[in-house]
A and B are shown apart, each in its own frame.
Chain A
């Protein structure tokens, strides 16, 4: 199972949980699983977050990126640029 790290703003939906184990082969599957477990978290993860897998920032809006069985998945606030 992948280890998912959430931000403090996500934790408002998770009763304060910031780190948890989630099954899912892709970012989309991980988000779906989290959205099922925590009401209201889905939209924030889908639209308001960037994702890093094992430290590598993923393309914006990705849901198909593969999540390895021991991956570290960080959901971050969205990153833009000038």
Chain B
């Protein structure tokens, strides 16, 4: 099942591992990330941030700041148009810059631009903000408590028609079957409450942008984002401008993981630049990134599961609370919907999203699924324990296949969950003994994946090379995948193809690189453009050979003439066709745009061996294997990279990472020393098994692989810890103090 063990591929380029096209710049230090750009006359921006978790902004006096040396412009929320709270853009707008209410410690309330960074920081400190401190809500429990203060005065519970302010962002019941009958039929019932803390995406590149408003009033923005078209539309909305007045050029992006699907700086940089008449660059510090950008939601999940003695999972019932931080969101709904891996004929889930005075949460790789999978995978493991069944056999018995319902009732399309489970079952790791004194854990994960809108333009150049132009920022090697699919279609060597990510004025609209969609949806646009080009080349070859167009076939990267009078003539190569293009009708170019349906869900299964030091609570990972259904691996190295990177993030979430707030809502660990992400010495090699059950809705069977890998690790590691110690960890992180506490309570 691994890529290397596959039978000879039916593809020439897809499935190979060429050096990525953007690689050379990245190993020589030449790659341009947003913070690497400096424009002539550029100012530096600094943000003034709320020191209070919740406060009314009484007044802002910028006069002292404006009088300071080097200061060229100052903005506050009053410099932006008011957006109605019922507008879906409202929350992101006020998260960029507060208007009347500061909603968390670190919330932006004003900004300055000055000649140097030092001057900008000094002036930011001189902006005088008068606050009326309001009661703050700092957790799910506080948000839902009887008589709790309102965390955000503009929040109304979504889609209920409620008009009163509330700390509930959304409520979503999911039901099928009859859970009472399901529990009555069960021989084993397990039930627990799980809590997880907010964690950060942890991209190494802080948010950064440069904005320059010209004399014509048009803004050009260079930004690090997962979607520069979204930067354009969001910035336009927050400024009240037309999208035609804004051009966004994508810089290389230094990691996103969902956290760069939202914007924080661009509207502010544009207004500062407009007021100063000079370009403005804003780069966040790491502390700002941790205090003011998107953590993944904290959660509290109560779950009860029933099974018959022969291992049929009859029932799942639970309440899932997810904190959206300071604004409304869909976190809890998505969490409940991600419970889609097992058949459960009877299901009753209540998803409740809360609002509090912590930073507005943002998407993080398979958003909300890891928290729910922690609960589900732990309980299934307990069922397996009680029934003395093999944990993989129990899952195989209950695993969803095509046509089975998801949590929301819609049937699964073609999926490869069974194949993924079997890949682990058949792995050398699973069939090797557990190291002496260690524990072994198994867990699985699911993610939907999405389609959305993409555009691609493919230009054939006069020397027979090709340029593939898309609007999808490349965060994990997707340019190489685009080039590989174009190579396969055209029959052109992958290194004669240059894949680029173009600005918002040079390629058609493209949605954000999120939901594991770039290789799936943008890849489809590339394939469609290439197929258009092949038709064009066949027509040109027909002109060149003096035959009818329907006498030309496209075989192995060349036009082959079939039938008399030119039967047997030499095929016409791409280079010959492009060289003659000016005589046969002009340049060869094709553009394709689509809104992709048929995204293919991806399943993963992980296996871990751990050793828990029972004196310190330290969990050491001895061996780790990840299997995942990629559909088809276009560039297997980067598929493995996604699986390994997702695993490592999940391991960090499981074992160490957490937001720690003081009683007044100040994050206590706003730096990489104390917000402890995994380093090389924390991890073993992460072995990968790529499973390939093609997605029938994609020309090459792509499912998208970016997200699912982060879902299984938490449950996998919790199960491994339980295997060694007998203790079920239900609160994250499973850090030494928390593990030790649980061991001592045993």
Contacts and interface: CB of A to CB of B under 8 A. Distances in A.
Question: CB–CB under 8 A between A and B in the complex?
Answer: yes
Contacts of A65: 597
A57 B450 contact: yes
Interface stretch (B104-112, B141-149, B408-416): B408-416
Interface residues of A, number: 30
Nearest to A11: B173
Nearest to B408: A76
A65 B516 CA distance: 23
Given A40-B161, A59-B453, A81 B596 contact: no
User: Which among A18, A44, A48, A72 has the highest number of chain B CB atoms within 10 Å?
Assistant: A48
Contacts of B410: 5, 52, 55, 57, 74, 76
Contacts of B659: none
Nearest to B296: A82
A9 B353 CA distance: 13
A49 B309 CA distance: 38
Contacts of A74: 408-410
Nearest to B414: A55
B311 interface: no
B450 A79 contact: yes
Interface residues of B, number: 52
Interface string A24-64: 00000000000000001001100110001001111110100
A41 to B, nearest CB: 9
A14 interface: no
B574 interface: no
Contacts of B171: 9
B467 interface: no
B333 interface: yes
B175 interface: yes
A71 interface: no
A80 B330 contact: yes
A81 B173 contact: no
A77 interface: yes
Contacts of B158: 48
B707 A81 contact: yes
A17 interface: no
Indicate the member of B161, B408, B517 with the most A CB atoms within 10 Å.
B408
Contact of B595 (A55, A62, A77, A80): A62
Given A48-B158, A56-B598, A77 B451 contact: no
Given A62-B595, A74-B410, A80 B366 contact: no
A82 B261 CA distance: 7
B514 A81 contact: yes
Given A7-B174, A60-B452, A62-B595, A81 B516 contact: yes
A69 interface: no
B174 A8 contact: yes
Contact of A43 (B159, B333, B367): B159
A57 B367 contact: no
A57 B172 contact: no
Contact of A59 (B367, B412, B452): B452
Contacts of B367: 80-82
B290 interface: no
Contacts of A52: 410
A65 B597 CA distance: 10
Contacts of B261: 82
A71 to B, nearest CB: 12
A3 to B, nearest CB: 11
A74 B448 CA distance: 15
Given A57-B599, A58-B597, A82 B365 contact: yes
B363 A80 contact: yes
Given A7-B172, A57-B599, A80 B413 contact: no
30 contacts: A7-B174, A7-B408, A7-B409, A9-B159, A9-B171, A9-B172, A44-B159, A47-B88, A55-B412, A57-B448, A57-B451, A58-B597, A59-B451, A62-B595, A72-B411, A74-B408, A74-B409, A76-B337, A77-B334, A77-B337, A79-B448, A80-B450, A80-B514, A81-B258, A81-B448, A81-B450, A81-B517, A81-B707, A82-B514, A82-B515
Interface of B: 88, 158-161, 171-175, 201, 257-259, 261, 330, 333-334, 336-337, 351, 363-367, 403, 408-413, 447-453, 514-517, 595-599, 697, 706-707
A-B complex: 8 closest residue pairs judged by Cβ atoms: A81-B515, A82-B258, A8-B173, A74-B410, A59-B595, A77-B333, A82-B365, A82-B363
Given A55-B412, A72-B411, A80-B450, 9 more contacts: A7-B408, A8-B174, A9-B159, A76-B410, A79-B450, A80-B334, A81-B366, A81-B517, A82-B363
